[in-house]
């Protein structure tokens, strides 16, 4: 019987069955209850395996979860609004999300926490730095794997594009981003993490026509988190500012 269960790939069922055989606590339970525990164990194993697969596919930049988000730091993060966003209704509606704020304020961490939450709630996600995404697209075009890449990207419910517009987009890069956003428009969600307010995006995309087209596909269906304040790296550093070399202290710049 165990070999048959293994051939059916019922690992959780087998584990639960062996547990029941080794424990006397199950012996006086009705057959239906014991069977129910076996089925629950197998379902849990499969759910955990699918979650692991989603998290691995997401390639999230850093380990982050909702319970690690610090709402006590003064950076303009509204707890109620963020927790509402964590319910992911915006993904269901295929809306976008933009997280804007200065360097170090926690944009990537919050994006990673939302990606982690998406995976836990059954959505697929994929994290990219903008430079990596563009490089992957251009490489795929060069080696003939572009259709496979675009098909793969289109399957993700949530695409995270971090360090958005850290370097201005050249015309060829902007065309690729436009094609990507066109494919995802009102079909799936994209999260942008950036230092630059939306009103500055236009000048950071070199070709005006492409700039208008890209912004048109983002801003009208985009929610926004606007952060401010000092770098979280500075606030959480174990080294006190007074212990730093004066030439390295941020208050000297």
Q: pLDDT tens across 21-55, in order?
A: 888 777 788 888 878 878 888 888 888 889 999 99
CA distances from residue 252 to 103, 105, 170, 232 in whole angstroms, order as listed: 17, 19, 35, 18
Spatial separation of the C-alpha atoms in residues 183 and 150, rounded to whole Å: 9
Mean pLDDT of 98-122: 96
Spatial separation of the C-alpha atoms in residues 35 and 16, rounded to whole Å: 10
Between vectors from CA 22 to CA 19 and to CA 24, what angle results, nearest 5°? 105
What confidence score (pLDDT) does residue 84 get?
97
Q: Is the pLDDT of residue 63 over 60?
A: yes
Q: Is the pLDDT of residue 237 over 70?
A: no
Calculate what percentage of the chain has a pLDDT beyond 90. Answer: 68
Whole-prediction pTM value? 0.79
The dihedral of CA 128, 129, 134, 139: what is its sign? Answer: negative
């Amino acid at each position: 019987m165990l070999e048959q269960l293994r051939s059916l790939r019922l690992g959780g069922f087998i584990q639960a069955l062996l547990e029941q055989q080794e424990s006397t606590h199950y012996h006086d339970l009705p057959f239906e209850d014991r069977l129910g525990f076996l089925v629950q164990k197998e379902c849990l194993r499969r759910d955990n395996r699918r979650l692991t697969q989603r998290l691995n596919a997401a390639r999230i930049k850093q380990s982050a979860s909702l319970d690690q988000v610090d709402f006590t730091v003064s950076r303009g993060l509204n707890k109620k609004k963020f927790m509402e966003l964590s319910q992911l209704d915006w993904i269901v509606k295929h809306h976008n999300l933009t997280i804007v704020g200065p360097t170090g304020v926690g944009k990537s961490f919050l994006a990673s926490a939302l990606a982690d939450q998406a995976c836990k709630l059954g959505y697929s996600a994929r994290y990219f730095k903008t430079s990596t995404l563009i490089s992957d697209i251009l490489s795929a075009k060069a080696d003939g794997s572009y259709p496979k890449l675009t098909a793969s990207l289109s399957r993700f419910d949530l695409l995270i594009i971090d360090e958005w517009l850290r370097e201005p987009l050249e015309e060829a890069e902007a065309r690729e981003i436009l094609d990507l956003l066109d494919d995802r428009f009102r079909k799936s969600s994209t999260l942008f993490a950036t230092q630059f307010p939306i009103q500055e995006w236009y000048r950071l995309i070199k070709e005006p026509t492409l700039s208008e087209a890209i912004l048109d596909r983002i801003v009208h269906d985009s929610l926004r988190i606007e952060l401010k304040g000092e770098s979280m790296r500075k606030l959480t550093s174990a080294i006190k500012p007074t212990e730093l070399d004066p030439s390295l202290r941020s208050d000297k710049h």
